[in-house]
Structure 1
Amino acid sequence: MAAIKDEKEDNKTGKMLALFDIMIHGHPLTKEQIATRFDVNARTANRYLAAIRQYLEEAEKEDGPRRELRYSREDRTYRIAEVENRFISKSELFAICKILLGGRTYSRKDLESLMNRLLQSAVLPEEQEEIKEFVKRELFDYLDPSHGKPDMDQLWEVAQAIKKHHVITFDYTKIGSTQGTPHRALPLGVVFSEYYFYVIALPFGDDHKPDPTVDTRTYRLDRMSDVEETKIKWDVPYNKRFREGVFKNQTQYMFSGPIQHVAFLYTGRSIEAVMDRIPTARKVLQDDGSWLITAELKGEGILMWLLSQGSSVNVLAPATLRERWLTEARKICEQPTVDLKKLKRGH
């Protein structure tokens, strides 16, 4: 008899948890719908609702999120209020999946696993298929990034070192090299850009002090290996702390360097695309319909973008940037014509 009673209690608990899961995701239900869905009578449905109301009140007392079970006379439904701002909607989750697909950071296998876990934790089972249908075709044609996959444990280890202001040691393999070299640096921040995670760090010498000849360096996470956190602590003054947002606004394609004042004329079709690419830019419409764009940017990564705009831009300043832009343009014009049929071609 005790076993039968325990089984009934487990069944009751399971139904109440299932009901709570439905309502916590913002779905209103009538008392009749509850009774039909969970095969209970109206009195039992009332008890379930009372238990949920009591739980929400107790959770609030324990500094939990403020939620209330509310009844709508208009459609005779019960719903947990104020959940819309605390949970991801279907449209938001769809957008997140599209961003993950477009970022091309993970392998297809890892990306599929990650999106499935997001679906299972964020929306109800009957709504998962709708989102899966939207993304499965794109996932089918998804090609793995050439760098493999980012090491999330290593990323988290770097993040912890940033929090503690601890120096890390690691081997770093530069582009064109097959072997890593030892490095020691104080990580200041982590930035994601153009398919990769980057660690912005302050290089340290063997004397356990920052290298006075270098400001900061940018390391691609997937080229870092054997990352270890040391006990060396170095506190950066508050007014010199690294700010990821400012760095991304001022840096193009992760080419760091000194700040320079850039100015160019833009005659292309989408000024909005320019402002999105260069968030710190200021624009002034000229009499001839062109736009004067000025911005303070780090390094010379902006050169790559300017070259991609063809004749839609005219670089004005600084003079060194203009000269490099013109030099690259001349080199493009001087490229010889090559017979494609005579070249080795892979499959």
Structure 2
Amino acid sequence: MRKGYIINKKEIASEFGVNVRTIQRDFDDIRNYLADKFQGQEIIYDYQAKGYIIDNQENKVVSAVEIFTFIKILIESRAFCDAEMNGLINSIFSVISKSEQNVIKSLVSNEVFHFKPLTHNKPILKNIWDIAQCILRKEVIEIQFKKVNGEEGRRVIYPLSIVFSEFYFYLVAQIEEFENKEPAFFRVDRILKFKLLGRKFKAKRFEEGELKKRILFMYGGELLHLKFIYKGQAVEAILDRFPTAKILNQSQNEYLIEAEVYGKGCLMWLLSQGENIELISPIFLREEIKNKIAKMNERYSMERLRV
């Protein structure tokens, strides 16, 4: 009933092999329990549904459309391996009725069937939870992880937060030997193991929300102040990509925009916009883009034999 199921007194009496009066006494006991332990919840008879339900005045039961939306986002994230994805979807289904489950399953069955996990295809839920406990307790840990080039590394870190971005979960952490620098990012699926070092760290409150506003593709680095010209009609896409962005000037379909980002992860996105974006400052980053464009031009100017 707390999951939103509708209970018909006669049907439930038949299922348990008792008379209707027994079920009525059960309802009375549940009413008393709810009144004592869960104020704002009560059993009522729904004349339209022809059955008894729990009416929750404080926190309404999650709706089918909300569950449908959660599952669509979960599938699109591709963040979990097959086993964990199926387990998560089944767990979410468990809070709605069978009839609602059947409707949603028919809507997402094709996506579930064709679901393609990420290349690593590793279970990560336990790692996420275990590391989250270290964050909560401010435990100093040593992690062993795999680098992009395949080599293994070790770091003593202060775990600060776990964030999700562009298919992956990341551990945001302060490296102990670089306490005065910006936090580093470690992909959770690349953390091979970690161990507690038996000591705590002191850190000021970490604002992951503020960090996410200024991070693109989870690249770390110093805070940069960008100023660029965007030529196009879909300026809202620019503002969505850069939550800190402000339009300084506008003329027809040309916008002068400034934004704050950490590190040079923005380069990947700026280059992807082609002729629609011109970076004005910082100058060193503008020069780096010019060099990359020159190298791209050189590469595409070469005649390449067909493979």
Q: What is the TM-score of this pair, normalised by structure 1? A: 0.78
Residue 283 of structure 2 corresponds to 319
Aligned mate of 2:189, from 222, 236, 240: 222
Aligned mate of 2:153, from 171, 181, 191: 181
Residue 75 of structure 2 corresponds to 101
Asked if 1:244 corresponds to 2:208, the answer is yes
**SS of residue in 2 equivalent to 1:316:** strand
- Aligned amino acid, residue 174 of structure 2: L
Residue 112 of structure 1 corresponds to 86
Aligned mate of 1:194, from 156, 162, 166: 166
Structure with a larger share of its residues in strand: 2
Residue deviations 1:194-214, cap 9 Å, x none?
A: 111111111124xxxxx3564
CA shift at 1:184, angstroms? 0.9
CA shift at 1:101, angstroms? 1.0
Residue 66 of structure 2 corresponds to 92
Residue 30 of structure 2 corresponds to 52
Does the 8 A contact of 2:40 with 2:57 survive in 1?
A: no
Residue 82 of structure 1 corresponds to 56
- Aligned amino acid, residue 114 of structure 1: L
User: Within 2, Cα distance between the matches of 1:202 and 1:319?
Assistant: 29
> Percent identity over the alignment?
32
Asked if 1:334 corresponds to 2:298, the answer is yes
Residue deviations 1:287-331, cap 9 Å, x none?
A: 233222211111111111111111111211211222222222232
Residue 204 of structure 1 corresponds to 176
Give 5+ residue unaligned stretches, structure 2: none
- Aligned amino acid, residue 141 of structure 2: I
Aligned mate of 1:166, from 123, 139, 157: 139
User: Within 2, Cα distance between the matches of 1:273 and 1:287?
Assistant: 18
User: Within 1, Cα distance between the matches of 2:182 and 2:136?
Assistant: 20
Does the 8 A contact of 1:26 with 1:83 survive in 2?
A: no
Aligned mate of 2:260, from 296, 304, 319: 296
Does the 8 A contact of 2:221 with 2:262 survive in 1?
A: yes
CA shift at 1:175, angstroms? 0.9
CA shift at 1:186, angstroms? 1.0
Give 5+ residue unaligned stretches, structure 1: 1-20, 206-210, 343-347
Asked if 1:148 corresponds to 2:115, the answer is no
Residue 106 of structure 2 corresponds to 133
**Taking structure 1 as reference, are residues 340 and 292 closer, same or farther at Cα in structure 2, changes over 3 Å only?**
same
CA shift at 1:56, angstroms? 1.2
Q: Superposition RMSD on alpha carbons, in Å?
A: 2.6
Residue 235 of structure 1 corresponds to 202
User: Within 1, Cα distance between the matches of 2:256 and 2:32?
Assistant: 62
Does the 8 A contact of 1:203 with 1:217 survive in 2?
A: yes
CA shift at 1:235, angstroms? 0.9
CA shift at 1:52, angstroms? 2.9
User: Within 2, Cα distance between the matches of 1:157 and 1:52?
Assistant: 37
CA shift at 1:146, angstroms? 0.8
**The structure with more radius of gyration:** 1
CA shift at 1:254, angstroms? 0.4
**SS of residue in 2 equivalent to 1:330:** helix
In the alignment of these two chains, the number of paired residues is 303
Does the 8 A contact of 2:144 with 2:154 survive in 1?
A: yes
- Aligned amino acid, residue 118 of structure 2: P
**Taking structure 1 as reference, are residues 304 and 35 closer, same or farther at Cα in structure 2, changes over 3 Å only?**
same
Aligned mate of 1:254, from 194, 209, 218: 218
**Taking structure 1 as reference, are residues 160 and 287 closer, same or farther at Cα in structure 2, changes over 3 Å only?**
same
CA shift at 1:50, angstroms? 2.4
**Taking structure 1 as reference, are residues 261 and 42 closer, same or farther at Cα in structure 2, changes over 3 Å only?**
same
Aligned mate of 1:68, from 31, 42, 49: 42
User: Within 2, Cα distance between the matches of 1:105 and 1:86?
Assistant: 29
**SS of residue in 2 equivalent to 1:269:** coil
Q: What is the TM-score of this pair, normalised by structure 2? A: 0.87
Asked if 1:34 corresponds to 2:6, the answer is no
Does the 8 A contact of 2:271 with 2:289 survive in 1?
A: yes
